[in-house]
Amino acid sequence: CSKESHFVNKWKEIFSVAIPNIFWVVTHTRIFVISTFSVVLLLIRVCFAQEECQNYIRVLLVNGNRLFTCGTNAFTPICTNRTLTNLTEIHDQISGMARCPYNPMHNSTALITSSGELYAATAMDFSGRDPAIYRSLGGLPPLRTAQYNSKWLNEPNFVSSYDIGNFTYFFFRENAVEHDCGRTVFSRAGRVCKNDIGGRFLLEDTWTTFMKARLNCSRPGEIPFNYNELQGTFYLPELELLYGIFTTNVNSIAASAVCTFNLSAIAQVFNGPFKYQENSRSAWLPYPNPNPDFQCGTIDSGSYVNLTQRNLQDAQKFLLMHEVVQPVVPVPYFMEDNVRFTHVAVDVVQGKDALFHIIYLATDYGTIRKVLSPLNQSTGSCMLEEIELFPPRKRQHIRSLLILHSRSELYVGVRDQVIKIPLKRCSYHKSREACLGARDPYCGWDLLLKKCTTLEESVRMSQWEQSIKKCPVRNVTVDGGFGAWSGWSTCSHNDGGNTGSCLCRTRACDSPAPQCGGQQCHGISAEVANCSRNGAWTPWTSWSPCSTSCGIGFQVRQRSCSNPTPRHGGRVCVGQNREERYCNEHLPCPPHVYWSAWSAWERCTVPCGGGIQSRRRTCENGNDCPGCGQEYQSCNTLPCPEVKKTTPWTPWTPVNISDNGGHYEQRFRYTCKARIPEPSLMEVGRQRIEMRYCSSDGSTGCSTDSEVLRLGRISGHTVNGGWSAWSSWSQCSRDCSRGIRNRKRTCNNPEPRYGGQTCLGPAQEYQECNITPCPVDGSWSCWSSWSKCSVTCGGGHYMRTRTCSNPPPAHGGDICLGLHTEEALCNTQSCPESWSSWSQWSHCDSTGSQLRLRHCDVLFPTGNQCSGNSSETRPCSPDSNFIPDIHHLASFSLSTGFNLFHMIAVGLSSSILGCLVTLLVYSYCQRYQQQSHDATVIHPISAAPLNTSITNHINKLDKYDSVEAIKVCMQIFGGSGGDVSHVYRCVEAKPYV
């Protein structure tokens, strides 16, 4: 590509990027945000079914003024030739088979030589089972490696390819066919002659110059540690030096190494012996190279004459070299564990005293290691820095790494962008110590300019310092420090929607900047003036619930100084942000009910064989303690010792048997043994009977049974005993749950006589009976603890429960009798007065009613507090000054002819008529007054007569009430609008008028 443009491929798109338009942002060692380039978008073909079904550009090569591109095209690869300056102009389109993989996940590599031949190493089929190194296009015939032959290629992963001299080199990793002890991956270097035209009849359309050799990159030792899998390469043609990054297998621990190889070492191995296997059962053995100084030769123009000087039979058999390509130095240039390197790029830098190789390594977690190659064989490599492209939680996998030496820039390709990193970033180092301590070959300290510069930027080389004799000291923690304040400048201020202008100044944390985990600067980085705001309190929150249900507790309410918050030197709020008050001070708690300590365990019921003992406790301050007041446990569980008891022999007693004048005597002894706690309780049974014979004269004394039997004195008269019939079974020992009954028989049918044998067998027999389980009557469990009282005052109730489960009724047993729930009164004390006093009665409203109100003084009423209505109404009293509204039954309107004269005439007529009516009534009253013999005067405010001399009028006066009289007169004179004097005169008349 040209120096001013760069081509970027992305799945389904190709970008032509103008390099000056790519920009970068660097902060410390982190590089962010690369976007906005001028692009020309080329959409080849898109399949939206799934991610693999896109058109991934896998071949992007410049050939003169043409751009050759190949894409997977949804598993149907195609290739196009386009004009380099106008990507939308397509010259031709060909199949991408054997030039581009079908699957975007398959590794491949390709290059175009100066003569126009395309060399591609890729999978040639859809499944990826036919890998090949294939040549097409150009003037030479197409060739490939042998198909389905694991000795040529065995599941390879192609990494890179280079056009070097008369050869085309391919670097890849594959399953080692020569390794017969399990599956092992080896890294390979393969090559073919560019003038190879294939064989005739043998190896037709197939390479005749293909060879491959193993690349070794290992950590030396008694047992070398091998890095077998090649991941990436970088070739320096001026030095004929190849850098390769190697890793361990993906199933082993993660480790990576960088090894370098001279091209001469690779060529020397290809001139050495081959490794050959006669057949599949033979071992791989070295075989001398028939052409130790093999050269590709040249091709006569116009004819395909093979001048490679290699026998076709040898070319078919000898592919793998016996020797291994060793690196420049035995120890890898750089090694690191717990990381896998994916891409590599190398830059050669001219320092003050020497040339330095800077290795850029992409890690599998999205960072780039900047490593200084060893200066000589005695010194090791140094890691200068680790460049983080993204924040830690937004890292992306690095897909490509490219150095543009002419511009000293590193280009990093990720999924959706291209990142440009300047290789020379000397301005970052602010001091001489930081500049020289970085050991960066790009940078040195200019004594004249007093700053860190590149060699090209220095004024004079003699005044440019650089010291790269040892690795930089890393992991030195440097805490950050603030720099100087900037000058005051105008800034905007937004306060609750109001925007104003303030004065601001800032300072940066760069003197020094925090390094290697150092702490950030402590303090403010910006100051604002001339726009302060005073704080104000928010309204109080509601009171929280009381902290206790009885006894003195407290309630809390809060507020905050955020209405608004004080800012920029404004005054803070004055006062408390929290208030507390007591609550439930009139609700004393009931006394604490608790169990006393357990008493000591009582004496066990038995000394051995398993007994029961108990202990007790009492409920203090009441009878409502939860649980039981008595507890049982087993005791003396060891078995009782075996007791054996034998009675002494009874005295000899004569038996009713005589023999030759003598007689028989017998005696008894009883023995019993058992495991019982008291030996006196053991029953004794008959065990043994002894008999003896006594002569009548006493000459021989008495002899025992054995002697009698031995002498045979009673042999002719002996009677053996016989059992009688069994008796009936006795009553069962238990009514249920497996009792025992017995029956007996006696040895009296006949009884043994004259030394006869007793009956054989047991005299008593036992049998189980009543095996059905016994009914279990239910029993109540202990009462539960009392529940919480339903109210805190004014009389509530609480309850406790128990269950019929100690034990539950079973096998027809009776259920528990009694209640399973108990209730009791609690908090019977009266509640404190919670209502306020009634307000005054209101004035009468339009309905003739009055209203008064009261309110609840308790914030959270409980029990009977604040029960009842908060308002009361009553009808207005008769003596109230309420005047009801007068509703006219009809209304009329004045006609247009009714004027002021008419109104005056009507008024005068009404006055005259009123006077006449008044005079008539007055005359009427005077007439009746003259007919009365005695007049009784009733004062309008007195209900009793003032003076009377006629006793026969008392009963009539008692029947007449002054108030009723006033009402009658008011009706006569038209309500309250008449003269009161008329009323008085009316009352002076007789009651019966």
Q: Which tokens belong to 374?
A: 């060893």
pLDDT digits (tens, 9 = 90+) for 790-812: 877 777 888 889 999 888 898 88
341 and 387 housed in the same domain: yes
- Which residue in the block uniquely carries the two structure tokens 């050959």? 276
Q: Mean of the pLDDT values across residues 163-191?
A: 92
Q: Is residue 201 assigned to a domain?
A: no
The H or E element that residue 687 is part of is strand 686-694
Phi first, then psi: give them for residue 133, nearest 5 degrees: -100, 115
Closest CA relative to residue 370, chosen from 352, 353, 388, 355: 388
785 and 675 housed in the same domain: no
Q: Which of 430, 460, 490 is the last residue in one of the domains?
A: 430
Domain total in the chain: 5
649 and 762 housed in the same domain: yes
683 and 760 housed in the same domain: yes
Q: Which of 403, 430, 457 is the last residue in one of the domains?
A: 430
Most confident range (mean pLDDT) of 34-43, 709-718, 876-885 is 876-885
Residue span of the structural domain in which 966 resides: 937-993
What percentage of the chain carries pLDDT values higher than 70?
A: 77
- pLDDT of 175 reads 93
360 and 454 housed in the same domain: no
764 and 781 housed in the same domain: no
- pLDDT of 237 reads 93
User: What does the DSSP assignment read for 180-249?
Assistant: -SS--EEEEEEEEETT----SSSSTTB-SS-EEEEE--EE-SSS-EE--EEEEEEEETTTTEEEEEEE--
Q: Mean of the pLDDT values across residues 394-404?
A: 90
DSSP 691: E
Q: Is residue 542 assigned to a domain?
A: no
- pLDDT of 461 reads 86
Q: Is the pLDDT of residue 266 over 50?
A: yes
651 and 744 housed in the same domain: yes
Q: Is residue 684 assigned to a domain?
A: yes
Residue 31's Cα: distance from chain center in Å?
Answer: 33
Q: Note whether 323 and 217 are within 8 A (CB).
A: no
Q: Is the pLDDT of residue 303 over 90?
A: no
657 and 716 housed in the same domain: yes
Provide the whole-model pTM.
0.50
How far from 96 is each of 44, 120, 134, 391, CA to CA, in Å? 13, 11, 12, 39
pLDDT digits (tens, 9 = 90+) for 182-208: 789 999 999 999 999 988 888 888 999
∠ CA 840-841-847, rounded to 5°: 160
- pLDDT of 26 reads 33
How far from 136 is each of 29, 121, 298, 665, CA to CA, in Å? 46, 11, 19, 135
Provide long-range contacts, Cβ within 8 A and 24+ apart, for 485-491: 485/527, 488/529, 491/528
- Which residue in the block uniquely carries the two structure tokens 């800012």? 567
CATH code of the domain containing 674: 2.20.100.10
The H or E element that residue 929 is part of is helix 900-931
- Average confidence score pLDDT of the chain: 78
Q: Please tell me the distance from the alpha carbon of residue 391 to that of residue 227, in angstroms, as a whole number.
A: 30
Q: Please tell me the distance from the alpha carbon of residue 678 to that of residue 459, in angstroms, as a whole number.
A: 120
Phi first, then psi: give them for residue 913, nearest 5 degrees: -60, -40
How far from 12 is each of 46, 54, 84, 104, CA to CA, in Å? 6, 6, 18, 12
Q: Mean of the pLDDT values across residues 554-577?
A: 86
pLDDT digits (tens, 9 = 90+) for 882-901: 444 433 333 333 334 456 67
Q: Where does the pLDDT of residue 323 fall: very low under 50, low under 70, confident under 90, or very high at 90 and above?
A: very high
CATH code of the domain containing 459: 3.30.1680.10
Q: Note whether 189 and 217 are within 8 A (CB).
A: no
Q: Where does the pLDDT of residue 160 fall: very low under 50, low under 70, confident under 90, or very high at 90 and above?
A: very high
413 and 460 housed in the same domain: no
Q: Which of 413, 446, 471 is the last residue in one of the domains?
A: 471
Q: Is the pLDDT of residue 96 over 70?
A: yes
pLDDT digits (tens, 9 = 90+) for 716-753: 467 888 889 889 988 888 888 778 888 989 888 888 87
Q: Is residue 299 assigned to a domain?
A: no
Q: Is the pLDDT of residue 622 over 90?
A: no
pLDDT digits (tens, 9 = 90+) for 493-514: 776 555 667 888 999 998 888 8
The H or E element that residue 317 is part of is helix 312-317
Q: Mean of the pLDDT values across residues 896-915?
A: 76
> Which comes out higher in pLDDT, residue 156 or 703?
156
Q: At what angle do helices 980-988 and 900-931 cross, to 10 degrees?
A: 20
Q: Is the pLDDT of residue 707 over 60?
A: no
Q: Mean of the pLDDT values across residues 278-283?
A: 87
- pLDDT of 215 reads 96
Q: Mean of the pLDDT values across residues 422-443?
A: 89
660 and 754 housed in the same domain: yes
Closest CA relative to residue 480, chosen from 440, 450, 523: 523
Closest CA relative to residue 835, chosen from 871, 874, 865, 860: 865
Q: Is the pLDDT of residue 789 over 70?
A: yes
How far from 904 is each of 661, 812, 896, 915, 917, CA to CA, in Å? 182, 112, 17, 17, 20
Q: Please tell me the distance from the alpha carbon of residue 4 to that of residue 2, in angstroms, as a whole number.
A: 5
Q: Where does the pLDDT of residue 646 fall: very low under 50, low under 70, confident under 90, or very high at 90 and above?
A: confident
Q: Note whether 425 and 26 are within 8 A (CB).
A: yes
Q: Where does the pLDDT of residue 377 fall: very low under 50, low under 70, confident under 90, or very high at 90 and above?
A: low
418 and 462 housed in the same domain: no
Residue 264's Cα: distance from chain center in Å?
Answer: 59
Length of the chain: 993
State whether residue 802 is helix, strand or coil. Answer: coil
State whether residue 274 is helix, strand or coil. Answer: strand
805 and 758 housed in the same domain: no
What is the CB neighbour count within 10 angstroms for residue 804? 17
- pLDDT of 309 reads 59
Q: Is residue 821 assigned to a domain?
A: yes
Please say whether the dihedral angle defined by the alpha carbons of residues 141, 142, 145 and 148, taken in this order, is positive or negative: negative
Helix, strand, coil percentages, rounded to 5, for the chain: 10, 35, 55
> Which comes out higher in pLDDT, residue 976 or 917?
917
Q: Is residue 944 assigned to a domain?
A: yes
- pLDDT of 79 reads 94
CA dihedral 17, 18, 20, 26 (to 10 degrees): 0
Q: Where does the pLDDT of residue 937 fall: very low under 50, low under 70, confident under 90, or very high at 90 and above?
A: very low
Q: Is residue 900 assigned to a domain?
A: no
Q: Note whether 606 and 573 are within 8 A (CB).
A: no
Q: Is residue 541 assigned to a domain?
A: no
Q: Is the pLDDT of residue 438 over 60?
A: yes
How far from 100 is each of 434, 666, 841, CA to CA, in Å? 49, 124, 102
- Which residue in the block uniquely carries the two structure tokens 């291994």? 324
How far from 739 is each of 721, 727, 733, 810, CA to CA, in Å? 32, 19, 5, 19
CA dihedral 30, 35, 38, 42 (to 10 degrees): 120
Q: Mean of the pLDDT values across residues 450-465?
A: 89
